[in-house]
Chain A
Amino acid sequence: MEILAKVAFGLYVLIILAGGLTAVSSTSLVRALVGLIVSFFGVAGMYLLLNTPFLAFMQMLIYVGAVCVLIFFAVMLTRADGRGEEAQGVGAKRRLYALAAALLPAGGLAALVVRHAVASKQLPVELDLPALGAGLLDQYALNFELISLVLLVAMSGAVLLAWERKEPK
């Protein structure tokens, strides 16, 4: 069974890597969005391996179901085809900066993670759904209310920003 878990882990890593690389380097934004969705599914698989099926479900519902549809609306507002704004290549200097921005923080953190490894359990904790719901309504009720407030403010802010004022005649 342990071999099976390792195989699944490697498969999910490959899915995340392929999706992520498509998402950041494709010239067409629609393809980039499909890459993003593939990488979301890979992360959902990681959540399943970590014994948190509820989070895997939420990952699909919120990220794939809501956030990706939002980004698709944004893609429709821009010229996203193969000859669109992203199609013109970027200079070598820009690519070098991008590589440095990717490798410096992540490389430093990776060295920290590898050198000061925390002792980890062999099997992930088992937490049932009622305990999660009780925590949401009991101990972390304020956070629950605050995130609803943040979502409300973001929604009304988005409506206000995109509001088209009628010119007075």
Chain B
Amino acid sequence: MSALSLYQLVALMLLAIGFFGLVRRRTLVGMLIAVELMLNGAGLSIVAAAQLTDANATLGQLGTLLVMGLAAAEATLVLAIIVVVSRRFGTTEVGVVSTLKE
């Protein structure tokens, strides 16, 4: 098996773990942690593809930096949403938080 395939399989492992957590977790914070795992796998996959093939290495590394920036932005927004939800409902359990407007 080539080196690239090994790195891609590790990235897919992160994707699988992230999906598992996303469905299994009961609270918004747990789901946020799972999403961060998946984004990490995406970054690893992009860098591996750029570094181990003839593709543009600069583009790959900068793309991963972009993914990291998006992950930071996403974590900021989810934190704000968690603040609002926990203020209004008193909990961040996804089963409880199911009304948009009363």
Contacts and interface: CB of A to CB of B under 8 A. Distances in A.
A1 interface: no
Given A54-B61, A110-B12, A161-B84, A154 B25 contact: no
A109 B12 contact: yes
Listed from nearest, the 7 A-B pairs whose CB atoms lie closest are A24-B21, A120-B4, A154-B73, A158-B80, A106-B16, A102-B20, A98-B23
Contacts of A110: 9, 12
A11 interface: no
Taking residues whose C-beta sits less than 8 angstroms from the other chain, chain A's interface range is 35 or more
B44 A43 contact: yes
Interface string B69-88: 11111111111111110100
Nearest to A107: B16
Interface string B38-80: 0010011001101111000111011011101111111111111
Nearest to B74: A154
A85 B26 contact: yes
Given A36-B36, A106-B19, A47 B2 contact: no
Contacts of B75: 66-67, 70-71
Interface in A111-141: 113-114, 117-122, 124-125, 127, 131-132, 135-136, 139-140
Contacts of B32: 71, 74
Interface of A is mostly: helix
A2 B80 CA distance: 47
Interface string A58-93: 110011001100110111011010000110101000
Contacts of A90: 24, 26
B76 to A, nearest CB: 5
A105 B19 contact: yes
B86 to A, nearest CB: 5
A40 to B, nearest CB: 7
Interface in A141-167: 143, 147, 150-151, 153-155, 157-159, 161-162
B100 interface: no
A4 interface: no
A158 B79 CA distance: 8
B26 to A, nearest CB: 6
Max chain A Cβ within 10 angstroms of own Cβ: one of B8, B15, B29, B82: B29
Contacts of B92: 77-78, 85
B52 A121 contact: yes
